[in-house]
Structure 1
Amino acid sequence: MEFRHLGHSGLKISEITYGNWITHGGQVEADAATACVRAALDAGITTFDTADVYAEGRAETVLGQALAGERRSGIEIFSKVYWPTGPGVNDRGLSRKHIMESIDGSLQRLGTDYLDLYQAHRYDYETPLEETMLAFADVVRSGKALYIGVSEWRAEEIRAGKELADEMGFPLVSNQPQYSALHRVIEAEVIPTSRELGISQIVFSPIAQGILTGKYLPGQPAPAGSRATDEKGGGANFIARWAGDDDVLTRVQELKPIAEDLGLSMAALAVAWVLTEENVAAAIIGASRPEQVVDNVEAAGVTLDADVKARIDEVLAPVAATDPALTVSPPKRP
């Protein structure tokens, strides 16, 4: 396993990070989830990402139980705040009230005294940014989180947040966007701005919800038990835009010879592609089975030559998303 600095901070995280969005507490039962976490630890992964909203809090609970007994200083635990966690009007967003209540809930479910990174899950257009950042400053000063990050923020939002964080004296070090060889919307604006500001990307969906594994074939039903068939956990909704596009699926199949030439699985090739971007500190992988963790971790330490990356880009360019406007947060509610 290789480790990278998170932004300009002194914190190093495993370049492959284990995340439990959709899986833990939903698609995967607790025993299987624990087996996946153990596989991640055995593979050298030290960084684990979750959120208070995943499976209505169950994902944090399952992760906390799976990590129980690990040396706390030897691992990094990340969580997030923004999405609704209850029926009340203040049970969502980035108000001071919701942040302060949510951090306590996350710590309790995870069974830890602090988070290594606490992230704003989206930008909140209903709350003054100053209020949000002051609350995060107090979270850091109280020792409940060591660093602060954001997720799916636009370049101008990241810049405004970083200016306030610097004024208030706390470390805003990361952004967590979707990024893969099929979803490249952060390249035009977010990555250049982040480089300038000393902020890293911790990217989710590096294998495009499983599409880049090559297991989804054009003109054929999705494999049984795959994310595209997960109606209960919501996985089918997230993957639908690619799984139903035969042009995308056909082009992904063209990557198989590239992966074979490198001795990598398709999944590992996709993760390695993401990690060629120097502004990416880590790629978040998820798994429903331990062997998927082992497969994805093949990407650790792999360096793709420029010509290999160019071949991948050439294949996928006609179907890859690149518009920066696709990075959006929910608007103000009516």
Structure 2
Amino acid sequence: MKLKTKGIRSAALAMVLILSAAVGCQGNDGVREQSSSAGETSAQSNAGTDSNMGTAGNMGNDGQTVAKDTVIAVSMPAAAEGWDYDAARSAGDYLASISSDTLGYVLLTASTAEEQSSQLDSLVGENIHAAVVYPVDESQPLQGAANLKNSGVPVVEFNGELSGITADASVTMDEGILGRNAARSVEDAGCSGMDVLVFTNESDVREAERLERFERSLPSGISTVLAGTACDTSNDARQALTDWLGRQDAESLADAGAVFASGEDELLGVLEGLASYEATYGTAFPNLKIIVGCGSSNELLTWLKDNDAYSAQTWFYPSEAINTAIDLAWDITSGSVSEDTIAVEAVSADHDSAGSYMTD
């Protein structure tokens, strides 16, 4: 669900590097994954000379060809791995596939809000007709984005609000929905009257949103038990699980009907940790019905695909969601916008379907 350019003349844009390093995959945690290259440099594009402009054909549901000088800019966080890395790869692939003699693109990645603002500011006055902005840090103002919008370029915000700017359109991914869907999975698994063990990283804002919605969405009769609250890595979650198990009596273990992990590291750590524990000590939770969490890293999806000892499921947003924002920017340039706010639909993966979401 998520980006390309042509005819950019300025030296500043000409210096933007062509996509080079293969971008891998992952998922917020997010969604995920087509194939193109987002290099380790922070700015990338196919802008420069006419010889390296992308060329592809029509785009949009109506098959209409855009004007020859139409250029879409995409600005997003830089990442060496994870969901953002996969989203950059997906954007690069998609932009390359839709670029043509009539449609071009610029793909920029930044490590800080300041760098992102500067990159966007460099586009002011250039041959840009719409911009997709995925903020590096939505708590920080992006004066460059404001300047670009004030220059007459429509701005589509993706996965976060642009501070101090009224975007022309938005593509959203509600983290709370992931928690709500996970709660429904627990309910559907038949956990009424049982406990749900929770593993989270309380310092992560997005995980906090998921957990809050998860707890709010559980039906009465299902209780949550915080088993790990500082799980920054899979090893942290694995250790938290081991420590919690060591403190429980048989009755507490029998009451546990589900496990919820608010992030992919926690989910992977719980799955690995529980498998290791039970290989040594035998069944830990005699009445466990489901292990559910959020995230879409290749490592997590690989584990789900290769193991079926537990009923395990993960909810996430595919990294291809960025392509939805690109489509929306394209619609704006062609005057065919049917809706200016789009909510990306969350998807789930389990043992049977995890392989279909994995990236190269």
Shared fold per TM-score greater than 0.5 = no
Structure that is richer in helix per residue? 1
More strand by share: 2
If the length of structure 1 is used for normalisation, what is the TM-score? 0.31
TM-score normalized by structure 2?
A: 0.30
